[in-house]
Amino acid sequence: MELPRRIPHLDASGKLCLVQPGSLLDASNPEGLVLDTLERARTVVQRGLDGANDGDFVTEFLAYWEHEASAVAWSICALEGPPRAIYAGRVPAWASSEQTTVLLADDATSAAAWAARVRRGLRNEGEGFYLPMESALMPPEFGERLHFGPFCELIERHASAANVEAARRWLQAARLPALILMSMPVPTLASPMAAFMVLLPAVSEAELGIARRGWRKGRGPSERDIALRKHRALVRGGIRRADAAYLLPRTGDAPTLLGKRVTVVGCGAVGSHLASFLAMAGVGHLALIDKEHLARQNVHRHLLGLDSVDQYKASSLATVLQPRFPHLDIAGRDADVLEVLRTAPEVLEEADLVVIAVGDETLQLRLEARLEKHARRLHVWLEPLGLAQHALLTSEPGAQGCYGCLFERDDRGALHNGASLAAPGQALDRTIAGCQDSFFPFSGMEAVRAAILGGEMTVKALKDAATVTQLVTAVGSFGQFTSAGFALSGRAQRLRSGETRVFKDLGRRECTICGMAP
């Protein structure tokens, strides 16, 4: 049956969409479910006929637009700023059903960098233009053909005069085929910009023949005249957005960390997972430093697996993470951190935060002394056999309170980490085959827990520069540790198994790194 007017939520096949996302259907009450559904259908149709829910057309715009779309492009363009020429390239497709996909980018350089990061070849493909609309378009009818004339009128109604003029100038010079990436505001969507495209096809020999019929040779209309004829059909296209502003909001966050730089020193079990969490959080620039290769014995707690054994951990990790997040910049440095401090100190000194996950107290103290005046630091480490994970964050460089403040001397003058839940003076590593093969027993999940603790504090510090110096201790369980014959520290006696405690005011005057001690 034909309805007297088009209504929202009704698709081309006549199906009515009634389900609200997240709604619970009570299968134990089938009769109520049917009655409820019929009532909802009646309401949607009635409101549609009354024009009460016409605003929903805009929310559903892309569903209507893409119903007749015969092309799809991926876009990494920033959907903001003025109308402008953009780069259109072609990359091998993601879906196996297609050979290649069009890639739209702000410029050739960013397209090339992105394609390299997802390990795809790229070749140039015609011309592109970005045209933002000021107001939302009503969607076309199902089955409606889009012609150049009505399309221009549509643009004139919904884009600013200056934008329309910019598009006109571009169109007069563009080579065909060309495509126009369009955006429009849809305030009701989670991502408030809807993107779609229009393709202006090249003029075919057949079209040329028909258009020039009756003209003397060389006097007929030019290809451009033919291409821009009002009745000429355009091709509708769908856009698959892969720009950071589209990809990140699902994490519950605006892409606020894209401009931040974090350097991760130590790409072992903790550092590798932490680096991956920072990439997931959308930290824009990650530098990973580690001079070592991945050892076979560590694959069950490291992010990398057996296929990366005997490879450098830093560059292998970057190679694994980069294609997952091509809009981030992730670089590995297979070098000693002290060497990096000599040859490229800016990698650490100019970072918004340096994450130190080296699992080596001597090196941690050395790095703390070297970086104390230059960069914010976060040390993250764990204690074996499920005992605890710790993270120490410092406030701005040069402030009192640092990793060194945790260290105390015992009666015999030996230095130990006062944050430890293990009593000092115990050898906590185990040996299978002599010194060369000694290890510190902790599971992959404990490494992940430490990485989450350090990752969350890193993100907090990046978002809020005022976060003060603090030590966070996540206490595990004491059982495995004590039944292995080890003793707990005095600090452990004051903490409960399973609790996470935050300690502030850590600064000590006698600290040799940040204190006033001579």
Cβ proximity to Zn ion: between 331 and 363 the closer is 363
Q: How far is the CB of 263 from Zn ion (least distance, A)?
A: 21
87-98 exposure pattern, b = at least 16 Cβ within 10 A, e = fewer: bbbbbeeeeeee
Cβ proximity to Zn ion: between 365 and 461 the closer is 365
Q: How far is the CB of 407 from Zn ion (least distance, A)?
A: 9
Q: How far is the CB of 76 from Zn ion (least distance, A)?
A: 44
Cβ proximity to Zn ion: between 499 and 510 the closer is 510
Q: Which two tokens stand for residue 512?
A: 């040799």
Q: In whole angstroms, what separates CA 435 from the centre of its chain?
A: 42
Q: How far is the CB of 515 from Zn ion (least distance, A)?
A: 6
Which region holds residue 496: left if phi is over 0, alpha if psi is between -120 and 50, else beta? beta
Q: How far is the CB of 379 from Zn ion (least distance, A)?
A: 12
Cβ proximity to Zn ion: between 333 and 377 the closer is 377
Distance CA 380, CA 303 (A): 17
Cβ proximity to Zn ion: between 76 and 392 the closer is 392
Distance CA 17, CA 9 (A): 5
**Helix residue spans in 228-312 (DSSP H):** 244-247, 269-281
Contact by Cβ (8 Å): 287, 264: yes
Contact by Cβ (8 Å): 122, 112: yes
Report CA torsion sign: 324, 197, 89, 286.
negative
Residue nearest to Zn ion (CB): 511
Cβ proximity to Zn ion: between 400 and 482 the closer is 400
Four-point Cα dihedral 354, 355, 361, 367, nearest 10: -10
Alpha carbon distance, N-terminus to C-terminus of the chain: 91
Name the residues that contact Zn ion, by CB under 5 A.
402, 404-405, 511, 513-514
Q: How far is the CB of 488 from Zn ion (least distance, A)?
A: 25
Pairing state of beta strands 261-265 and 235-241? unpaired
Q: How far is the CB of 392 from Zn ion (least distance, A)?
A: 10
Cβ proximity to Zn ion: between 161 and 516 the closer is 516
- Rounded to whole angstroms, what are the CA distances from 140 to 3, 6, 154, 236, 395? 17, 11, 11, 11, 55
Q: How far is the CB of 469 from Zn ion (least distance, A)?
A: 9
Cβ proximity to Zn ion: between 106 and 368 the closer is 368
